[in-house]
A and B are shown apart, each in its own frame.
Chain A
Amino acid sequence: MSESTSANTPKPSSSVKLVLLGEAAVGKSSLVLRFVNNDFQENKEPTIGAAFLTQKCSLPTRTIKFEIWDTAGQERFASLAPMYYRNAQAALVVYDVTKPSSLTKAKHWVAELQRQASPGIVIALVGNKLDLTNDGNDATAGESQADNEAEPSAADGEDASGENADEQDASSGDARKVSTREANSYAEEESLLFFETSAKTGVNVAEVFTAIANAIPESSLKSGRGTGAGTGQTTLGGGRPAEDSRVNLGERGASTAKEGCAC
């Protein structure tokens, strides 16, 4: 939007294509809106399809322009996901710390990404809705929590249904159902970045994106402005990804056109 801001800075600028994945209603869009607009909406309507947003992130040595695909979490959209992660350099896989089934879903996404996405993709596992837990009450809550929190049992109940997850432990006001330890150890096993965030309070949101920006290898960054040609992996920049993939797309396009066309 504001190219001018980066124009002032001599820092090189690169764009990074990032995709958000995760079960419905874990807060993907809220995380993005917090990051992009520093805004939060209670009871946001579910995303339909996918939304495309951009935001700059300034690092000491360079500026990263995130091109973000915020995908809808509903199952019926799952088949479209490859379109969004195919060329992504980074992925944010989000679950809800109050809903164990959402971590299971997140693990499925991680597995799919590891199997199908670009080999060098940076994946961050993000447990959202920290504000609903006791840790969310102190603003310092964050990555460093992996040491405490011996939340038992709940984390094992991967198939615990949503209804159970919604039942809050009224006495403590802590709705956490996925322990930090469990998620963190999984993230370590799979070499993922790991954060617990609250899009509502803003805790750790910017940190996730900064960490991703830092984790993207310099080699896979290309200079931002408009140069479309490059290796397959880096043709993700903004409006010109098409050149490389156009042959494929053409084929697909032709067939979908036939299906979709009523003539």
Chain B
Amino acid sequence: MEATTPRPPQDGDVIHKTNSTSPTTVESPTSRATSRSPSPEDQPPPLPPRPNTLFLLDEGVSSGNLQSKATTAVSVTDIAHTDGGKENYPTRGFTGNLKAKASLSHLASSRASEAGDSASIRSSVPHTEVGEVENVFSDFLAGDVGNGPQNTTGLLQFPEFQADDGEEDYTSEFEPVGEVGENGENEELVLERWKAKRKHYLILSAAGKPIWTRHGEGGLISTYVGVIQTIISFFQDSDDHLNTFNAGDTKFVIVTKGPLYLVAISRILESDTQLRLQLEALYMQILSTLTLPSLTHLFSVRPSTDLRRPLQGSETLLSTLADSFTRGSPSTLLSALECLKIRKAHRQVINNTLLKTKVSSLLYGLVVAGGRLVSVVRPKKHSLHPGDLQLLFNMIFEAEAVKAGGGESWIPVCLPGFNSSGYLYMYVSFLDLREDNINIADDTTTKEESVAIVLISTDKESFFDLQEMRNAFVEQMQKNNSLKIIKQAIDTGRPATTDIVPGTVLHHFLYKSKANVQFTMSAYDPEFSTISRRRRSVFRLDLWTWDTDFIGSVHHCVSQSSSSFAWITPVFELYCVAGPNANRNALAQSASKIVHWVQKEEERLFIIGGAVF
């Protein structure tokens, strides 16, 4: 298994590339990591050919273009991802990646026995041996990106990797730091608590005015905001962009969006790219509240505008979004959506009911069960953007604001992926399925079991039309038994890994279908009850892929507490976690069975196409 690497020989080291243009450090991990392919008998079934290059092209073309395009139900355009291409700073990184992706899939398919079968492990990475593959990719990437210093780096200088058996306590991460008393009596304590947070987000205006921070209030943090603003403008004065820097084990990432600076400060294991995407999503939330023209206008009229006022009331949306990043929500990590698993025929009935009851003012209609999409209707020429849906789901299911209203809601919202320049109007009502009645749910339903009907229109006066549609729709759903089906699917929950592969060593998996921009996952093993474990289970695997783009490759990593397995192809991404002593063959075998299962169940797990009018 062991092959020679040109790097300092560290057994099982992982070569890691980041998008950072700043000089990076190489450090050896303490955890053992190695990459391999499963044994030949585990070869997964061939996958249906997919237009991979098209997908990549799409991604590239749409960058910097906020207009919507016709694609599948959920567009491949991940706005948070691609919008970054507009600005100067990430361009190098992103174009580099895109090139790398495109050429990599070439590479993979040229090696593959059949073009289009590049998803198969063996064909894409034949006889993988540690050094070989990594050499190929790291050399290749370094050559392709070609930005000065060697881009390979260890990602493993973070404490989480070294001592990942320690159960980090994340509960205090989300607690308020408290307020400084009138006479500043407890300032030390509050500052102490503030500094103890592992993750900070700061948004400030170019003029240096604080706009929003996840932790702490204006007075407490104003010094730090000042320092950050000074650092950023120092670079800008010399026509440079400061993207990221490290201080000890703390990573700073800065994103500039017009008049706004967004800053993430993280002491948990996250890559630059991840943090950048998180900041982009926060920026999208601001656009969603204000729209781009009004944001631009505010600052062009008065560069010293205090944006806190116009954003008033939306702070919780930013906070819940930020916390979902910190918790490591799979949806955010994968930039994809999860659907409720129901039979294809059942979904069609729901789709048809939506179409049948649709009113003329409807733009999009969604049925969402606890953040999982059940059904979508949309006009033929408009797709939905995962980034937009992420904002909507955050608003509807994570932030209590909508639900606590206790009635039906009518919300002006800008969906920046759809069109960043204007508002849409969103009707939201919750169903209470527990007693099989069709009344509006009260606030005792949990997040998982609350089902929301979301109807979106461009007409701000169409509330009563949509309300009527909702009533007709729910009545029909009651009649054709769809409500019961949704309820059953919610009650059944996600399958355990052992339901899919009996006796498997896997504790948890995440599968992202790239073409559908959707993912599915197993129920959380009790093992993953804590945030840190969940985070770790997925994060570390995800880290590799974000920054390496090892398409068509397999990663295997063993640490003290778990062994993890990532399998990236142009068609899907699969991340699995098992106990630390899991046999590699067993792991790989299970993984390929999972892939097989997902492909068999594809039309139940994912919404393919959706209903179109």
Contact = CB atoms under 8 A, between A and B. Distances in A.
A45 B399 contact: yes
A243 to B, nearest CB: 11
Contact of A256 (B402, B404, B413, B458): B458
B382 A76 contact: no
Given A37-B406, A52-B408, A252 B459 contact: yes
Given A36-B406, A48-B409, A50-B409, A74 B313 contact: yes
Interface in B389-411: 395, 399-402, 404-411
B313 A260 contact: no
Contacts of B424: 260
Given A1-B439, A45-B401, A48-B395, A260 B314 contact: no
A241 interface: yes
A80 B442 CA distance: 27
Contact of A260 (B317, B402, B407, B458): B458
A78 to B, nearest CB: 11
A217 B314 CA distance: 39
Interface stretch (B231-239, B334-342, B414-422, B533-541): B414-422
B361 interface: yes
Given A1-B439, A45-B399, A24 B313 contact: yes
Most buried by B among A51, A72, A73, A263: A51
Given A49-B409, A249-B459, A260 B419 contact: yes
Nearest to A49: B411
B316 A45 contact: yes
A48 B401 contact: yes
B312 A75 contact: yes
B409 A74 contact: no
Contact of B460 (A48, A73, A252): A252
Contact of B309 (A33, A36, A50, A75): A75
Contacts of A73: 313
B411 A52 contact: no
A47 B317 CA distance: 12
Contacts of A39: 406
B405 A29 contact: yes
Contacts of A77: 412
Contacts of A46: 312-313, 316, 401
B561 interface: no
Contacts of B313: 24, 46-48, 72-74
B68 interface: yes
Contacts of B442: 37
B461 A76 contact: no
Contact of A239 (B67, B381, B411, B464): B464
Contacts of A74: 312-313
Nearest to A253: B459
Which of under 10, 10 to 19, 20 to 34, or 35 or more describes the interface residues of B?
A: 35 or more
Interface in A45-77: 45-54, 68, 70, 72-77
Interface in B56-79: 66-68
Contact of A41 (B310, B404, B413): B404
Given A252-B459, A262-B68, A262-B418, A241 B464 contact: yes
Contacts of A263: 67-68, 381-382
A240 interface: yes
A250 B338 CA distance: 36
Contacts of A53: 405-408
B409 A253 contact: no
Contact of A51 (B395, B405, B418, B461): B405
Contacts of B314: 48
Nearest to B317: A48
Contacts of A49: 409-413, 426
Contacts of A44: 400, 404
A259 interface: yes
Contacts of A24: 312-313
Nearest to B310: A76
Interface in A19-49: 24, 29, 32-33, 36-37, 39, 41, 44-49
Nearest to B311: A76
Interface in A160-176: none
A257 interface: yes
A9 B575 CA distance: 62
A70 B459 CA distance: 19
A68 to B, nearest CB: 8
B467 interface: yes
Given A24-B313, A46-B401, A262-B67, A51 B412 contact: no
B544 interface: no
A32 B406 CA distance: 9
B160 interface: no
A173 to B, nearest CB: 17
A261 interface: yes
A94 to B, nearest CB: 16
Contacts of A132: none
A242 interface: yes
B296 to A, nearest CB: 15
B461 A249 contact: yes
B459 A257 contact: yes
B405 A70 contact: yes
B459 A51 contact: no
A55 to B, nearest CB: 10
A7 interface: no
B132 interface: no
A245 B463 CA distance: 13
Interface string B297-330: 0000000000001101110110000000000000
B290 A260 contact: no
B459 A239 contact: no
A150 interface: no
A36 B407 CA distance: 10
A52 B465 CA distance: 14
B137 interface: no
B422 A259 contact: yes
Contact of A242 (B407, B440, B460, B464): B464
B400 to A, nearest CB: 5
A239 B412 contact: no
Interface in B418-437: 418-419, 421-424, 426
Given A74-B312, A260-B422, A48 B68 contact: no
Interface in A182-212: none
Nearest to A238: B464
Nearest to B294: A76
Contacts of B406: 29, 32-33, 36-37, 39, 51, 53
Contacts of B401: 45-48
Contacts of A45: 316, 399-401, 404
B468 interface: yes
A54 B467 CA distance: 13
B497 interface: no
B289 interface: yes
A13 B138 CA distance: 76
Given A257-B458, A260-B458, 12 more contacts: A24-B312, A44-B404, A46-B312, A48-B313, A48-B401, A49-B426, A245-B461, A259-B421, A260-B422, A261-B458, A262-B68, A263-B67
Nearest 7 CB-CB pairs, A to B?
A49-B411, A51-B405, A53-B407, A260-B458, A253-B459, A46-B313, A45-B401
28 contacts: A1-B440, A29-B405, A41-B443, A45-B399, A45-B404, A46-B312, A46-B313, A46-B401, A47-B401, A47-B405, A48-B395, A48-B401, A48-B402, A49-B409, A49-B412, A49-B413, A50-B410, A51-B410, A52-B408, A52-B409, A53-B405, A53-B407, A249-B459, A252-B461, A253-B461, A253-B462, A256-B459, A261-B458
